[in-house]
Amino acid sequence: MSDSPFDSLKKTRPVASRRRAGLRQILMLGLAMGCGVLVANNPFRPSSENPDATARGYLRFKEILSYVDRDYADSVDTEGLADYAVTQMLEKLDPHSVYIPARDRQKTDAFLQSDYDGVGIEFNVFRDTVTVVAPLSGGPAEQAGVQPGDQILSIGGKRVSGARLSTARLSELLRGPRGSSLTLELRRRHLAQPLRLSVARSRIANSSIDAAYLVDDQTGYIKVSRFASNTYDEFKAALVDLRRQGLTRLVLDLRGNPGGYLDRATRLADEFIGGSRKIVYTDGKGEQYDSQTYAKVAGEFEEGALVVLVDEGSASAAEVVAGALQDHDRAILVGRRTFGKGLVQQPIALSDGGELRLTIARYYTPAGRSIQKPYGANYAEYSADVANRAARGELQSADSVHFAKELRFRTDHGRTVYGGGGIMPDVFVPRDSVAHSAYYTKLLAHGVPRAFALSFYQGHKAELEGLRFEQFNATFRISDAQLASLTAQAAQDGVKADGATVRRCAPLLRNLLKAYIARSAYGLVPYYTVLREQDAELQSALHAVSDSSAQLALLGK
């Protein structure tokens, strides 16, 4: 087989086309533990029900901490001990009440913000080398001349190449006050000397809509990564734009969405739910935290086929949306059982600059389902729930998922649904075992595929710029020789595998490499377009949204 994927394109008339888009942050499932459903910050009013016991507990802790600080044999970090004690105390309450120290507030809050001050660079780290995946389209880095494939040697005079800095630390170096200047030292292919570029930081959009495009003339796809401050406005704009292009059916992707602001989630759900039907309600201690939220606006897409993709990483506010749409038989849910977080946190600002996110209520779907999965005193076991699901076979077979019969509820059209442990989709799709195999996940963790794709892009930049994406997508293939080169590069980095393992991963690897190359050459929508080919869950969703008779049967209509 030819080593060049361009052999079949030599007779194709080149048409220059380049599209780039902005920074994307990889969201981990663990964010569900710290993000969750958040409500607006109301003034804190301490309970007067048991003031004496509270006072005794406070004095006991103060006395013990004073003795430890004054008389313990060694010097101690009393603030660290206090933080530890608070953390342990909150874990005894539930898994989602948390204390956030002042030093971590900014990082935690940034996840739910829709913009930040920085230079606008998406990067990859491979063998301690920071490589630009893509600068934000129209952002300060692109305007200064930063290109995909550039290797960053230093940031603001601080050496980063070979420095073994974390991704979080690198992001910190790139961010800073708006208007401030930052010098980047870059190594670029075919240039003998490093480049030094001055970049002026500016406000960078941190969109929670990862992708929004038409799959075909009628079918739209929107991926929502979290429910941040501007999520609803971004979603509404994307939906209106797709409707203008001809959208009549939609796939809403909430996989891996760990939650966020409750009101943004309910406003998004209101776009699909007509009339004044209930979306969610909360029940807390007394009545001050009880609430009921109903649909109240004429939504943009209250009619038309709707499929929602969910998985074990869909949590909290994402479950509010999925649960409401399922209870009202408005959407078909495709994927796997969701995370199972049904607790509402109240952010409470503390005098030391820290923040307490205290569980003040449970939320329930319109049918009355509590989505919160069981929890007890064992925080570690709760945290390992998804891994335990995999061990029990839940991620491979719907028959392995069991719900308590007493937690049975009915949708508007009489379909049976269950509470007490996440939301079970209407169409189960097993998790791709290859994508979660040890070898494949190690490749991704070491950044090998992305580094390989960036190197390929740099070496074939002129050829790629001479093609439209449609030409590239129809004819580009990763050859056997290139795949062998990738695995050899991975082995040098300590990720070794036998021939059988590589052959098993080959289709997924070829598609991923092609998607990464498309990302650098053409932008985010082409990236997602390529990924779609090997996405079994999305393919199932697209089939469900286009099969009208199956929709009616699944929704009990």
Dihedral sign of CA atoms 227, 231, 232, 235 in order:
negative
Q: How far apart are CA 81 and CA 150, in angstroms?
A: 45
Q: How far apart are CA 456 and CA 462, in angstroms?
A: 11
Question: Which pLDDT does position 149 carry in this prediction?
Answer: 86
- Binned at pLDDT 50, 70 and 90, residue 383 comes out as confident
Q: How far apart are CA 251 and CA 239, in angstroms?
A: 11
% the chain with pLDDT above 70: 91
Pairing of strands 181-187, 151-155: antiparallel
Mean pLDDT of 197-206: 91
102 vs 30, residue with greater confidence: 102
3-state secondary structure 427-493: EECCCCCCCCCHHHHHHHHCCHHHHHHHHHHHHCHHHHHCCCHHHHHHHCCCCHHHHHHHHHHHHHC
- Binned at pLDDT 50, 70 and 90, residue 133 comes out as confident
CB atoms within 10 A of CB 192: 5
Mean pLDDT of 290-297: 95
pLDDT at residue 537 tops 70: yes
**For the ranges 316-320, 326-330, 412-416, 496-500, which has the lowest average pLDDT?**
496-500
- Binned at pLDDT 50, 70 and 90, residue 1 comes out as very low
Q: How far apart are CA 421 and CA 419, in angstroms?
A: 6
Strand partners, 347: 357
- Binned at pLDDT 50, 70 and 90, residue 376 comes out as confident
% the chain with pLDDT above 90: 65
Name the DSSP class of 499: H
Question: Which pLDDT does position 469 carry in this prediction?
Answer: 96
Q: How far apart are CA 162 and CA 54, in angstroms?
A: 52
**For the ranges 55-59, 276-280, 550-554, which has the lowest average pLDDT?**
550-554
- Binned at pLDDT 50, 70 and 90, residue 41 comes out as low
pLDDT at residue 182 tops 90: yes
Question: Which pLDDT does position 39 carry in this prediction?
Answer: 62
Q: Judge if pTM exceeds 0.85.
A: yes
- Binned at pLDDT 50, 70 and 90, residue 484 comes out as very high
Specify the amino acid at residue 493: D
Residue 432's Cβ-count burial label (10 Å; 0-12, 13-18, 19+) is: middle
Question: Which pLDDT does position 17 carry in this prediction?
Answer: 35
As a whole number, the mean pLDDT across the chain is 88
pLDDT at residue 127 tops 70: yes
Question: Which pLDDT does position 9 carry in this prediction?
Answer: 42
pLDDT digits (tens, 9 = 90+) for 60-117: 999 999 999 999 999 999 989 999 999 999 988 999 999 998 888 877 777 788 888 9
Mean pLDDT of 177-200: 92
Q: Which two tokens stand for residue 504?
A: 């098993």
- C-alpha to C-alpha distances, 108 to 31, 83, 534, nearest whole angstrom: 10, 17, 33
Q: Tell me if 385 sits within 8 A of 401, measured CB to CB.
A: no
Q: Tell me if 219 sits within 8 A of 249, measured CB to CB.
A: yes
**For the ranges 2-6, 267-271, 437-441, which has the lowest average pLDDT?**
2-6
Place of tokens 């939320």: 363
Nearest to 256, CA basis, from 546, 537, 514, 555: 537
pLDDT at residue 424 tops 90: yes
Q: Which two tokens stand for residue 309?
A: 């993709």
**For the ranges 13-27, 176-190, 228-242, which has the lowest average pLDDT?**
13-27
**For the ranges 14-28, 190-204, 209-223, 437-451, which has the lowest average pLDDT?**
14-28
pLDDT digits (tens, 9 = 90+) for 135-151: 888 899 999 999 988 99
Q: How far apart are CA 441 and CA 23, in angstroms?
A: 22
Residues in the chain: 557
pLDDT at residue 4 tops 80: no
Residue 132's Cβ-count burial label (10 Å; 0-12, 13-18, 19+) is: buried
pLDDT at residue 332 tops 90: yes
Q: How far apart are CA 19 and CA 469, in angstroms?
A: 10
**For the ranges 16-25, 38-47, 267-276, which has the lowest average pLDDT?**
16-25
Question: Which pLDDT does position 444 carry in this prediction?
Answer: 92
pLDDT at residue 365 tops 90: yes
Question: Which pLDDT does position 36 carry in this prediction?
Answer: 61
Q: How far apart are CA 15 and CA 317, in angstroms?
A: 44
pLDDT at residue 363 tops 80: yes
3-state secondary structure 145-160: CCCCCCEEEEECCEEC
Residues tagged active-site: 316, 327, 341
Q: Tell me if 306 sits within 8 A of 272, measured CB to CB.
A: yes
Mean pLDDT of 324-344: 96
Q: Alpha helices, DSSP H only, in 285-332? A: 317-327
pLDDT at residue 323 tops 90: yes
Q: How far apart are CA 237 and CA 231, in angstroms?
A: 10
- Binned at pLDDT 50, 70 and 90, residue 244 comes out as very high
Q: How far apart are CA 214 and CA 8, in angstroms?
A: 28
